[in-house]
Chains A and B, each alone.
Chain A
Amino acid sequence: KQEVTQIPAALSVPEGENLVLNCSFTDSAIYNLQWFRQDPGKGLTSLLLIQSSQREQTSGRLNASLDKSSGRSTLYIAASQPGDSATYLCASVNAGGTSYGKLTFGQGTILTVHP
């Protein structure tokens, strides 16, 4: 059974800092890994999706990397802004077996960027 872990559980940084959020997964047989943002009481906004054959994806100030062999992914946020404050979740889609695309989520990193 896939287990996804995110470190740190919470992070508080001053505006302008570059930061890294970590995600690890126990089963490397994945189709892809997806990073989401969730504001309090709100839905999940997809940020980046990395296919299993890819090493990284970039969108604006966000860069996500994937190392399947070590079971790790990182989300890099450049020049953080107060508006980046949210919970960041990573989730994997496992390949094979009877899984047909369900996401297995980590417990998230709560990010606070203060002015």
Chain B
Amino acid sequence: AAGVIQSPRHLIKEKRETATLKCYPIPRHDTVYWYQQGPGQDPQFLISFYEKMQSDKGSIPDRFSAQQFSDYHSELNMSSLELGDSALYFCASSLGTGIQPQHFGDGTRLSIL
């Protein structure tokens, strides 16, 4: 069965650079969530989209923005990168919000030098 696809798998950037992470949800899933997992931490919710509209917002810095496109894939744009942004970034998708399980991608490991 098709799963959530994230790209790239690994990304190395320097401070103050920008990065774009991509997420392709499971086919027919209309909801995408982004989470950030720092070293030794549990995943923290960043932002979500339902039917291409932002549906919820968590602890996402103003330097970050995201959107969901007409084909339901989503991109997380990160600017002015800081050392503290080094983390594993997960995307999850579901059919609708709340009731259905979320299925996670393998994540993008972002390292800031």
Contacts and interface: CB of A to CB of B under 8 A. Distances in A.
Given A43-B106, A43-B107, A89-B42, A102 B33 contact: yes
Contacts, number: 71
A99 interface: yes
A48 to B, nearest CB: 9
Interface in B35-59: 35, 41-45, 48, 50, 55-56, 58
Interface residues of B, number: 29
A102 B94 contact: no
Interface string B81-113: 000000010101010111101111111010000
Contacts of A107: 41-42
A34 to B, nearest CB: 6
B106 to A, nearest CB: 4
Q: Is the interface of A mostly helix, strand, loop or mixed?
A: strand
Q: Is the interface of B mostly helix, strand, loop or mixed?
A: strand
B31 A101 contact: yes
Interface in B14-50: 31, 33, 35, 41-45, 48, 50
Interface string A81-115: 00000000101010100111111111110000000
Nearest to B99: A31
Interface of A: 31-32, 34, 36, 41-46, 49, 51, 89, 91, 93, 95, 98-108
